[in-house]
């Protein structure tokens, strides 16, 4: 089971892949200009860890509170 966690509700963007017993993480500064790059960050993170989006079973997104 592969899960992707996306948390962009605070001053950092956190990306986490949980792949069975392995956990991979990435963080980026969060700002209104950087937020537009979220999809790029996710794609790069998946490529770096050699996981296709098609192989992700579950996606979790933190919705807030955030500043948007």
pLDDT bucket at 32, cuts 50 / 70 / 90:
confident
Please check whether residue 52 is in contact with residue 17, taking contact to mean a CB–CB distance below 8 angstroms. no
pLDDT value at position 22?
94
* Mean per-residue pLDDT, 4-28: 93
Q: For 35-61, what is each residue's pLDDT tens digit?
A: 678 899 999 999 999 999 999 999 999
> Tokens 């899960």 map to which residue?
3
Tokens linked to 61: 């997104």
Tokens linked to 47: 């490529």
pLDDT value at position 63?
78
Q: For 2-14, what is each residue's pLDDT tens digit?
A: 999 999 888 889 9
Residues β-bridged to residue 14: 7, 27
């Amino acid at each position: 089971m592969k899960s992707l966690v996306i948390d962009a509700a605070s001053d950092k963007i956190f990306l986490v892949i949980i792949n069975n017993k392995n956990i991979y993480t990435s963080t980026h500064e969060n700002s209104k200009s950087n937020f537009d790059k979220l999809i790029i960050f996710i794609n790069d993170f998946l490529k770096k860890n050699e996981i296709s989006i098609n192989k992700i079973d579950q996606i979790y997104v933190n919705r807030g509170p955030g500043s948007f």
